[in-house]
Chain A
Amino acid sequence: MSKTIIKTIISAVLVLACTIGPIVAALAYESSRTRDLTAEILARAPEKGNYSPRFVTVAFGQKVKLRVRNIDTVTHGFAIPALEVDAGEIKAGQYAVLEFTPEKPGKYDFYCTTWCSEFHLQMRGILEVTAR
């Protein structure tokens, strides 16, 4: 192989490693890390998008692992009182991981437990536990 071809290959590899590399690496790492998550819920004040998703379905009797990520600029909370699940305060940019096993099918409200905006009371969603 000529010197020019080797140089071209090295250049291409370096450029790809520095441009596409971080994107692929980040996505692969996150995918491996979240493989066992049931769902991820993003938390924002209602006027900025509310919980997303606001409707989550899980199976009865199976272990649920939720990650609630606060991507807002204010503190939020997350609780499902009927299931005795409470993340407490989740500060801006931080997240909480909640693990529980629902023992009864039904629809359960989840909502923010920290006063976050004038629309705070609208910051809520539903976790539906379905029969297997």
Chain B
Amino acid sequence: MSEQNSKNQRLLGLFPLNWRFDLASLPGVRWLLKQRWFPMIVILINMFIFIVILMSGIMGGFSSGNYSFGIMFVWILWWVLLMMLLVPVLSRTWCMMCPLPSFGEWLQRLRIFGVNNKLGGLNLKWPRRLSNMWVMNFLFLGTTFFSGFFTVKPLVTFYLLGGIIVMGIVLSLIFEKRSFCLYVCPVSGFQGLYANMAMTEIRVKDPNICAKHKKKTCETGNKKGYGCPWLLEPHSLKRNTYCGMCLECFKTCPFDNMAFNIRPPGTDLLVNEKRGLDEAWKSFIMIAIAIMFYVAMMGPWGWIKDWVRGNTLTGWLKFISVHTAFALVIIPGIFFVFSFLSKLFSGSKEVRLKAVFVNLSYCLIPMGLASWIAFSFGFLLPNGSYILHILSDPFALGWDLFGTANIPWTPVATGWLVPLQFITLFAGYLVAADYGYKLSLQTYTDPAAAKRGFIPLLVLLTLVVIAFGWLYGG
């Protein structure tokens, strides 16, 4: 499929994939994006919140999850916001406002708002062999080994966030710019992958202007801003995966050539740039974790809960083994079988199996994101009311700051839970199938071969949506 054809395609046959509206064409928005204090001021507000989260881990109700500010804020509010709004709509805007790497970045820059392109620290290059998502894949999977503790023990959330902050500081002093965010942060990888689905993007307005601009200040920086902290070339940005939306390119571009576009969801899935097994495995891991979380947190199987919560060491080790095998071997293995069938059905001999496997794995992103959104409904609606309580009494010390401390636990619209989950899963399935076909076309080139090659993929997606439907609503 040619680049031109892909530009003429429509999502679900309705929305043209090449439609864009530049939010920064609105003068107020452009002015805001170019200010040095933005997004730093939002980072500082989030830093305030995260300090309260850390404090709630070591003081107050440190054994009680439902009355812990840290647990409720991080695992109910922040996670839900991330999966339901920030990533699918606003791409990596969380990275834009994330306070966790800020201490490290300030130490590099020795500035908070100002510009100092002579960065401190050792400024080493991140190892080439690790310049991918593998470290993040393993770290994120490793983090989920402790999922049975995060939601009940505030101290564990303190250790996790504190660990990320310390790791961010240490790595920022050793490696250049945002190497930590790009290659290590456990939260970064899945945001990058699912940001392919986002309805916003940062891109150049006119590539010809960039082509003529020799200095490439978006890469090197100038007195108005830093060279891309995410080590990208903003002038030729093609997909959201590794763009942390820090907005420095808006400040450094002397031609106001950067755009903050609204677009149809998922257009990046068709961009064949830096695709690889690391990203494919990230989508397998995300689906595996969505299943495991549901089974462990909301399923009726008490013995699995006992494993995940580490009631016995043997049980917990069994959980780690099964979970790791499921995420790294079983789900990829199933996908491999269907990729093999796709190639077989297509009749194509020129296309390598690895290319089929990697390319088609990108259609799991809409399905995975939908499963996470559906899963998020499962704890937002029953448990969201705890947020009102912890806002008034963040450390379980008996405070009533906003008069909401005595609001009892009140599940909201739980009768709508399963229908909402089904609608979300079905929407994800439709988008996944649509992109699956487009990816098949991109992979096999010949439309007839692509149609045949798409059949096993459609069967797999159908099985996946049925499995999630059974799990969530069965």
A95 to chain B, nearest CB (A): 5
Contacting B64 at CB < 8 Å: which of A15, A22, A70, A97?
A70
Using Cβ atoms and an 8 Å threshold, which residues of chain B touch A29?
399
Structural contact, A22 and B61, CB atoms closer than 8 A:
no
Structural contact, B396 and A93, CB atoms closer than 8 A:
yes
Using Cβ atoms and an 8 Å threshold, which residues of chain A touch B152?
73
The answer to whether A82 has its CB under 8 Å from any CB of chain B is no
User: 6 A-B residue contacts at CB 8 Å?
Assistant: A14-B44, A18-B45, A21-B51, A22-B48, A29-B399, A72-B63
B73 to chain A, nearest CB (A): 13
Output the nearest chain A residue to B51 by Cβ-Cβ distance. Answer: A22
A73-B64, A93-B61, A95-B398 known; A26 vs B55 contact (CB < 8 Å): yes
The answer to whether B276 has its CB under 8 Å from any CB of chain A is no
Structural contact, B63 and A15, CB atoms closer than 8 A:
no
The answer to whether B60 has its CB under 8 Å from any CB of chain A is yes
Structural contact, B44 and A23, CB atoms closer than 8 A:
no
The answer to whether B379 has its CB under 8 Å from any CB of chain A is no
Using Cβ atoms and an 8 Å threshold, which residues of chain B touch A17?
48
The answer to whether B469 has its CB under 8 Å from any CB of chain A is no
Using Cβ atoms and an 8 Å threshold, which residues of chain B touch A23?
51, 55
Using Cβ atoms and an 8 Å threshold, which residues of chain B touch A73?
63-65, 152
Structural contact, A92 and B64, CB atoms closer than 8 A:
yes
List A residues 73-103 near B (Cβ within 8 Å). 73, 92-95, 97
Contacting A71 at CB < 8 Å: which of B45, B47, B64?
B64
The answer to whether B67 has its CB under 8 Å from any CB of chain A is yes
Output the nearest chain B residue to A40 by Cβ-Cβ distance. Answer: B397
Structural contact, A93 and B67, CB atoms closer than 8 A:
yes
The answer to whether B68 has its CB under 8 Å from any CB of chain A is yes
Given contacts A30-B399, A69-B396, 15 further A-B contacts (CB under 8 A): A11-B112, A15-B112, A19-B48, A21-B48, A22-B52, A26-B52, A33-B397, A33-B399, A70-B64, A71-B396, A92-B66, A94-B396, A95-B396, A95-B398, A97-B398
- Chain B count of residues within 8 A CB distance of the other chain: 29
The answer to whether B113 has its CB under 8 Å from any CB of chain A is yes
Using Cβ atoms and an 8 Å threshold, which residues of chain B touch A19?
47-48, 51
Structural contact, A92 and B55, CB atoms closer than 8 A:
no
Structural contact, B395 and A7, CB atoms closer than 8 A:
no
Structural contact, A71 and B48, CB atoms closer than 8 A:
no
Contacting B113 at CB < 8 Å: which of A7, A18, A70, A95?
A7
List A residues 3-51 near B (Cβ within 8 Å). 7, 11, 14-15, 17-19, 21-23, 26, 29-30, 33, 44, 48
Contacting A48 at CB < 8 Å: which of B60, B63, B114?
B63
Interface residues of chain A: helix, strand, loop or mixed (majority) = helix
The answer to whether A65 has its CB under 8 Å from any CB of chain B is no
B56 to chain A, nearest CB (A): 9
Structural contact, A67 and B48, CB atoms closer than 8 A:
no
Structural contact, A30 and B48, CB atoms closer than 8 A:
no
A82 to chain B, nearest CB (A): 26
The answer to whether B260 has its CB under 8 Å from any CB of chain A is no
Using Cβ atoms and an 8 Å threshold, which residues of chain A touch B396?
69, 71, 93-95
Q: Give Cα distance in the complex from A50 to B301, angstroms.
A: 30
Q: Give Cα distance in the complex from A94 to B44, angstroms.
A: 31
Using Cβ atoms and an 8 Å threshold, which residues of chain B touch A69?
61, 396-398
Using Cβ atoms and an 8 Å threshold, which residues of chain A touch B48?
17-19, 21-22
A67 to chain B, nearest CB (A): 7
A7-B114, A15-B44, A33-B399 known; A71 vs B51 contact (CB < 8 Å): no
Structural contact, B55 and A22, CB atoms closer than 8 A:
yes
List B residues 65-93 near A (Cβ within 8 Å). 65-68
Structural contact, A71 and B114, CB atoms closer than 8 A:
no
Structural contact, A30 and B397, CB atoms closer than 8 A:
yes
The answer to whether B230 has its CB under 8 Å from any CB of chain A is no
Q: Give Cα distance in the complex from A89 to B62, angstroms.
A: 19
Output the nearest chain A residue to B59 by Cβ-Cβ distance. Answer: A26
Q: Give Cα distance in the complex from A14 to B48, angstroms.
A: 10
Using Cβ atoms and an 8 Å threshold, which residues of chain B touch A15?
44, 47, 106, 112
Q: Give Cα distance in the complex from A17 to B41, angstroms.
A: 12
